[in-house]
Every structure is written in structure tokens, then in C-alpha cells.
Amino acid sequence: MKTEKTDRTEKPEAPRRAPRRQRELVVRGIPISPGVAIGAVYDTSEEPTVAPRRAITAARVEEERQRLAAAVTASRKQVAKLKARLGVLPEEAQEELEPLLDAYAMMLGESRLLRGARRRIGEELLAAETAVQDEAEAIAAVILAAKDDDKPGLRRRAGEVREIARRLTRNLTATPFRSLKEVPAGAILVAEELTPADAALLDPARIAGVATEEGGADGHTAIMLRALGIPSVLGCAGLTEAARRGDEAVLDGGAGTIVLRPGAAALEAGQESLAAYAKEKARLAKLRRLPSVTLDGEEVELQANLEIPAELPLIAQAGAQGIGLLRTEFLFMNRDDLPDEDAQFEAYSQIVGSLPEDGVTIRVLDWGGEKDMEALAQGVEPWHSGPNPALGLRGIRMLLKRPELLESQFAAILRVATQGPVRILLPMVTVPAEVAQAREIYERVIRRLRRKGVALPEKAPPLGAMIETPGAALAADAIALEADFFAIGTNDLAMYTLAVDRAEAEVAHLYDPLHPAVLRLVQFATEAALRLRMPVSVCGEMAGNPRLVPLLLGLGLRSLSMNASAIPRVKQMVRTLKIDDCARFARRVMEQGDPQRIQELVLNFGEPAAGRE
């Protein structure tokens, strides 16, 4: 009887276990581009490049160099075709992709990558594809090893080098590239990985969503997908093994999930999310056109931080009132020579020219021993970074040691100031004398350009100081007498105040921009500027957190600069506030000595309302 019972219980279960693969499966990844997509999976793979390491004889050196030259020619044609296709993409995607393709074209010119590959062919007797891969990895390793706070930027630059190496290798080995022509309309594209060039071939009117196994939030592919407005999730481990072509799927780019073969409940939830997202998108789109004004009529300037020109489309989409922090390090990274005045002028013109009515605050080069830039290492006398580069020769300290760098940047910015309003920001200021010395150089450059008959604005752009160390904040009264404006960099200010590096896992939990010491330094610097009726802004991560807006406004700040994606929700918060309420709230917060209590007060200030229409 026992055996019969076992047989009866097992037989009905067998059919349920057989189609195990058909069950609903939720795969989680990194949210990249918000939005919800419901459609059939279309999986696509790219034939792997088979390029084993290969040595050559001395007699074949010239032959291998000719092979490399042919691959370079083919790659240039492919990049040119991609650039020719820009006209069919949305304007935001065009503006994002064009600078990237220009960077690719530069690397297919007389670049370090190609010079190094040719050298390896001759000196190390390597086949062309092996030489390209070795040189690309060597360059990428140098970039990624830089002790730079901008890790996403370093990864993007290393990715650019590797992408060109990948293209050259595929051309050298005659390996076909991925084709996306067969993707049906309304499909959710699933792949192991997409390159920026792949993303450029996507039609946002046909592709409902994108999900990949590889990739991260700060790469060029992610920026492209956001610019195209395609709901996307990257970094979905196990996705390509679990998904089959034709499977129904629900993708949520905001939550970072893709549900394969959804059941009735998951499908209904996806449809509700799709409708809610469409409504939210329409509401935020309305916010773009509305002013950033409090309920009692106080205007708050919301600007965007810009890391690389590729982010310009995101700034336009967000409705930013200009650029509050343009980091210029991108001009000096991943190149063998220093950008001269004309090269810098062209780069700044691209940015200022795209925002002729809005202001652009350009921070001059912030570089020191902690940032590895080969062009600077070769173009100026080297120095030792020391055991703690973050406390060494960096920012304005380095520029005053090498005034020719500062002079070329000043000259390029002064020339571009005829195209639109600009300001100049000095990094890592700690004492008033640094601003005074920089102003002497600045005025000398102005006189030189005027003698040469160069067109300049009638009034020279303001020269401001970055407040990002406790010393600068505590000396803000004196620095304000030398500077024309302040920009408070809360990221570094919190790091230096608390002696915490957020990149160090052991102490990252101690990093807290709401620590009373950090807030008091922000307050001190703000009040010093306001006493002289001098412009002051916050350009760190605090500015992009909607929950911190009441506190910042209450401290007297009226200008915030942040990542472009944060602007709509910060504006939404601004439009629900009254300045008197914010001032009372700030007084209450500044009375506290316990960071945990401050956190509680901030969280309990109130949920952001929907905003006014």
C-alpha cells in the first residue's frame, strides 16, 4: 500500500516538473533607462572574435603593419557610416553619439594605440591583432589605475580604447559584426553585451526595451540608451541562458528587472506600471517647461554638472538652466599631447554654443599626483605624488606651479566667452593668496589677448573659488574678498572633513554629508558669500537629492548644480516649498549634534508633492 501511495502521488506531479523552463522568472540587473516595456524577447548574439596570441618572424613585420593599416582603413569607413546614420536618430542621441564617434576617429588616426601597436609588431615580433590587444590593454590599465575620484569617467575612457581595439581585431580576423536588422518591431532585445556602436543602430521607434548580461550604469552604452529613451536594464546575470526568442517579457528600466514568461499577475502589474510611467513621464515633461520657483515666488536656479560633452543631450532633456560645473579633465585624458589653446577653444565652443542663452561654469584643470594623465606627464616636468596624493600637489596648487597650463585654459575660455555667458572656477582653493595669484595670471592673459586683437567680451568672465576643504570653508570670509563667486563641492568637503574615502569599503559607511561638521562648513561658506552679496552654489551630490533641498534653501542657497537626471525631481520639490518653512527647518537641523537625528528630521520633512501645473 505504501508503494501504491507513492506511485499515485508522483504521477500527477510529473507533468508540472517537465516544463520547468516555462515558469515565470524574474532577472534583476542595473536600472539604466527608465520606462516599462512589454513584448517578445529577441535574443541576439555576436560571433566571438577568435584571435589567439601569435608571434611572427622579422621577415613578416612589414606585412603585419600593412594588415594593420588595412584594418584601420576599414574601421574608419565603418565609423564614418555610423556617423552618416546620425540623422535618423533623435536629436538627443545624435548629440550624444557624435562626440563618441569623433573620439573613435581620433584613435584611428595617429594615436598612441596605433603607434604602440606598430611598435610592438616591430620590436616584439607580434601579429597585428596581438599587438593591438596588448597595447589597448596596457593603455586601459594605465587609465584605470589612476587614483581619480571619477571612476566612471576612467572606465568610459578605458572602454573607448578597448572598443577601437575590438573593432580593429574583428577587421583583422574578418569576423562579422552583430546585425540588428532582423529585430521585429515591439521586441525586447536581449544580448550578452551591447557596444555603443550597437546602440547607435537601435531604432527607438521599433525596439521596446533592451536587457543585457554585461554592462554598467556609467558606460557609453548606458548613456546612449538613455539618450535614445529606450527602457533598459544592464548587468542581468544569467539572462541569455534563461531567455528564449519569442518569450513574453516585462522589462522595468527604473526598477532594473526583466520578468520572463510573466504570469497573469506579473503581466497585469507590468501593464499598470506602463500606464503609470507614461503618466509620470508626461508630468515630468511638463515640469521641464515650468519655472523652478517656490510657492512663495523665490526662484531657485537648477543647473547640471557636465563630465564629458557626450552628456549634453541629457542636460537638454532635463531642462537645466545651464551648466554649473564643467569638468575639463576630459580634454587631457587618454592622449599623448597636451591640448593647446585652439583645441580647448573648439571643445568649449561645442558646449557653450549649444547653450547660448544659459551660463556655463568652467572649472579649470583639477589634476595632481592622484590623477594619471599621460599627456601631462609627458608635457610637463614630472613630480612625485607622495604617500597621500589627495593632500598633495593638485588643483590650483599644481596650476600655479605650471602657469602655462592655466594661461592656455584662461585664453581659450576668454575667447569662447564671446559666444555666451561663462564663469571660471578654480579647484582646491585653500587660501586667499591662491585666488589672488590666479587673478594676476588671468589679467595678464586678458592684456595679452587684447594686444593681439583677439575678440573678447566687454566684461571679463567672473573668477570663482571651489570650496571643498575645511580650510577653504573656514577662510571663506577672506577668500570671498578675492573671488567673484563660490561653488561648494560637498563631495570633497565631506571627505576631507570626515577623513573618509568613499571608495574604501572599510570606512565608506562613515561618509555622511549630513554630519553636523559638514553642514556647519556649508553654512559658514554660504553666509560669507551672502554677506558680500556674492553668488554661491552647491555642486555636489547633496544638490541632486530632493530630500535635502529644503535644508539647502533654508541655509540661504538659491543655486544648485547636479547630475542632469536629478533636475526634474529636484524642481518638483522646489515647487512645493515655502522659504520661511525651509528657514525654520534649517535652524532646527543646525541645532542638532547627532547625525542620526538630522537624518530623521530630513526624512520626516514631508514627501514631495506632485508639483503645480
Pairing, β 257-260 against β 25-28: antiparallel
Q: Which residues contact 287 (CB under 8 A, 6 or more apart)?
A: 319, 568, 571, 572, 575, 611
335 annotated to a ligand binding site: no
Alpha carbon distance 557, 536 (integer Å) = 7
236, 509, 515, 539: the catalytic one is: 539
206 marked as part of a ligand binding site: no
Q: Is 245 annotated as contributing to ligand binding? A: no
- Whose cell is 560645473? That residue is 325
CB 361 within 8 A of CB 487: yes
What distances in angstroms separate CA 245 from CA 40, 198, 261, 326, 605, one per listed residue? 7, 19, 11, 44, 48
Entry field: residues in the chain: 613
- Please state the φ and ψ torsions of residue 335, each to the nearest 5 degrees: -150, 160
- Residue 539 a catalytic site member: yes
Signed CA dihedral, 190, 196, 201, 206: sign only: positive
The 3-class secondary structure across 421-461, one letter per residue, is CEEEEECCCCCHHHHHHHHHHHHHHHHHHHHCCCCCCCCCC
Q: Is 342 part of any known ligand binding site?
A: no
Is 220 a catalytic site residue? yes
Residue 468 marked ligand-binding: yes
- Which residues are CB-contacts of 19 (< 8 A; sequence separation ≥ 6)? none
Q: How many CA atoms lie within 13 A of 125 on its CB side?
A: 6
Residue among 220, 236, 515, 582 flagged as catalytic: 220
Flag whether 155 is marked binding. no
d(CA 487, CA 467): 6
Cell 606598430, located at residue: 118
- Which residues, listed in sequence order, are joined to residue 30 by a DSSP beta bridge? 234
Binding residues for phosphoenolpyruvate: 327, 363, 491-492, 502
Binding residues: 327, 363, 468, 491-492, 502
Binding residues for Mg(2+): 468, 492
Instruction: Tell me which residues are annotated as active site.
Output: 220, 539
